[in-house]
Structure 1
Amino acid sequence: MKNPLRKQILITGGAGFIGSHLCERLLADGHDVICLDNFFTGAKDNIVHLLDNPHFELLRHDITFPLYIEVDQIFNLACPASPIHYQFDPVQTTKTSVHGAINMLGLAKRVKARIFQASTSEVYGDPQVHPQPESYCGHVNPIGPRSCYDEGKRCAETLFFDYHRQHQLEIKVARIFNTYGPRMHPNDGRVVSNFVVQALLGKPITIYGDGSQTRSFCYVDDLVEGFVRLMNSPADLTGPVNLGNPGEFTIRELAEKVVAMTGSKSELIFQPLPMDDPKQRRPDIGLAQQALGWKPQIALDEGLQKTIAYFADLLERGIIRSF
């Protein structure tokens, strides 16, 4: 007889950086987890330690194609999330966000599952409001090199809310701000992984612009806790809900912190700022605090220590050099 507390949960993009941590968390919470990934940016190494768990299943699939399975909940995380990866094939990136959302929403509608969309702070674009509340509609370039991701995620949110209004689907939408931690791709071009890898290799730390632009960095365990709380919140809390750490640092401050924590002799070098790169980014997490009782618990120094240790292990095993 099936345990009514044990849910069948699908995680698209489950072999990715955030998805693999979510797989672990939901297994620890006593659920059956179906990890779906096409392995464009996900890696089997991220979930290989879970393959022997009888409550874990790995499915190679691309969500731009329909899927027919029976599940109770869906976490839709599938989409390249770093500029290097989502600009590699921008048309496919948009398809993943839009066609993928349609397919997953269709699945949720058929099986009457609750569905969670991992949206992004990039829906705010280069914001003119600071910090960014969920009510802010954003300042986004619809035709720039980042638009495949930014506008794809914005359209996915539109689809989620239209399915909610038209079909009474139970939806949850989270807007994720910069997240970091173990299992980040060593060559994904994101600022934390870039700086840590460059520092460990003793290479120059590459800063785009003058380093005065700001970001807020949320450790992955804190983010996953927010995911779980939002998914299991009352049905009338649809979101969008900002999930991120409101601590704000300049890019130069982050670089100097990484150099100090790694004991590196790397120097800082400066390159032109990419087009449409946001000048500032910090979440207003008032809604998450009030509705979910959630706020980040792991300070940047503590999270960086764990992240540096992860990349140092990859370096020791010779894995980083292969990228």
Structure 2
Amino acid sequence: MKSLYVLSGASGMTGSELVRQILEAEKDSRIIGFDNFFASSIETIKDYLDDSRFVFNEYDINNLSQMRIIEDEVAREKTSFDRTVYINCAAVVHTEHFYEVEHTWETNVISMKSFLEQAIRVKADIYINCSTSEVYSMHSWNENGGVRESDYLMMSTAEHSQRTSYACGKLMTEFFMKDAVDKGKIKGCSIRFANVYSKHERFAKHIIPHIINELLGKGSVTLLENSKKNRRAFLHNIDSCRSVMALINSEKALDGTVYNVATDEEITIIDLTYKIAEKMGMHKPEIIFSGYRSSDPERRFLNTEKIRTRTDWTPIITLDKGLEMCVASIEK
């Protein structure tokens, strides 16, 4: 199918990988992408800038005049394609937004809604809303196969942590998505990604690049006290983007609801540190515990039965392989 994709956050970790997957798989499709480089750089998409199928603009999703330019361009081009697909990857999840209430509100709530309304105005066929597993907050796991999309949420409040404002903002976008689909305005869904990582991560505040940078810089790793208990399952960016494409291409999945996307490979943060160190040629480096983060769940483990039932998606990048890719990228 010949598709026109409209992609926010196109140079970010998720957006840039989507650009790669779309251009490699769909020779007749086209991407109109934009990013303001708040959490990315041009380096992630430099290999695709000369491809005529990819149009990139250094635009900000919060800038109304720039978004009108995008809307006009989509309106001109969409008649040449079988379908128009909007994918909102702006500020999907990165640490710089967790405690910034105003930034979270502006980018993740107001501008997501505006981008969705644009998609409806141009009569786009599909809208994919990238959300986050942060919405599970303090109820991030159970022992019966992980938390499900239908489980009730137990969240921290402003009395505990401003971090939850990020989760609340993303949760609100899921309501916008469901409302638009229920009212017949567009087809689409929301995706709750869990602990996505990639060799392209820019912020060392995320745990995997943090560990790598610490080992490179000083041969030891400083972790929060929480890490003595914390366990996580990490999802490689290749697989998170494969899930986006699987949902786009599954008619029955575009029902406005939410889909967990995660892996079953749970690991302690301490064992993760040792595993990365081993791949860097180090044996059990010193771990220094300093600081504590409140309202941080000990585990984050998601049930993915829903997406596996409604699409053919399943993760293909093991944690071993993904970490090897991350380590290999720093050795170049």
TM-score, structure 2 as length reference: 0.87
Q: Is the 8 A contact 2:189 2:258 kept in 1?
A: yes
Q: Is the 8 A contact 2:148 2:260 kept in 1?
A: yes
Structure 1 position 193 matched with structure 2 position 209: yes
1:157 to partner: Cα distance? 0.8
Tell me the alpha carbon deviations over residues 62-94 of structure 1, each in whole angstroms, 9 at most, x when there is no partner. 2223423215111101016222x1147431122
Task: Tell me which residue corresponds to 1:145.
Answer: 162
Task: Tell me which residue corresponds to 1:111.
Answer: 122
Task: Tell me which residue corresponds to 1:154.
Answer: 171
Structure 1 position 90 matched with structure 2 position 95: no
Segment of structure 1 superposing worse, 161-170 or 38-47 = 161-170
Structure 1, unmatched stretches of 5+, are: 314-323
Classify 1:221/1:199 alpha carbon distance in 2 versus 1 (closer, same or farther; 3 Å).
same
Segment of structure 1 superposing worse, 200-209 or 157-166 = 200-209
Tell me the alpha carbon deviations over residues 134-183 of structure 1, each in whole angstroms, 9 at most, x when there is no partner. 11132222422212311110111111112222343211211101111221
Task: Tell me which residue corresponds to 2:81.
Answer: none
Task: Tell me which residue corresponds to 2:311.
Answer: 292
Q: Is the 8 A contact 2:135 2:171 kept in 1?
A: yes
Classify 1:247/1:87 alpha carbon distance in 2 versus 1 (closer, same or farther; 3 Å).
closer
Could you say what secondary structure the match of 1:115 adopts? strand
Tell me the alpha carbon deviations over residues 269-293 of structure 1, each in whole angstroms, 9 at most, x when there is no partner. 1123312222110110111211112
1:27 to partner: Cα distance? 1.1
Structure 1 position 254 matched with structure 2 position 269: no
Task: Tell me which residue corresponds to 1:24.
Answer: 20
Figure out how many residues of one structure are paired with residues of the other and give that number: 307
Q: Is the 8 A contact 2:92 2:132 kept in 1?
A: no
Could you say what secondary structure the match of 1:137 adopts? coil
Classify 1:210/1:20 alpha carbon distance in 2 versus 1 (closer, same or farther; 3 Å).
closer
Task: Tell me which residue corresponds to 1:240.
Answer: 258
Tell me the alpha carbon deviations over residues 35-78 of structure 1, each in whole angstroms, 9 at most, x when there is no partner. 21111112111111111001111112222234232151111010
Task: Tell me which residue corresponds to 1:222.
Answer: 239
TM-score, structure 1 as length reference: 0.90
CA RMSD of aligned residues (A): 1.8
Measure, in 2, the Cα distance between the counterparts of 1:32 and 1:137.
Answer: 39
Segment of structure 1 superposing worse, 134-143 or 109-118 = 134-143
Structure 2, unmatched stretches of 5+, are: 79-83
Could you say what secondary structure the match of 1:310 adopts? helix
How do 1:168-207 and structure 2 match up within 5 A? 168-185=185-202, 187-207=203-223
Structure 1 position 124 matched with structure 2 position 109: no
1:11 to partner: Cα distance? 1.1
Measure, in 2, the Cα distance between the counterparts of 1:78 and 1:163.
Answer: 19
Q: Is the 8 A contact 2:140 2:302 kept in 1?
A: no
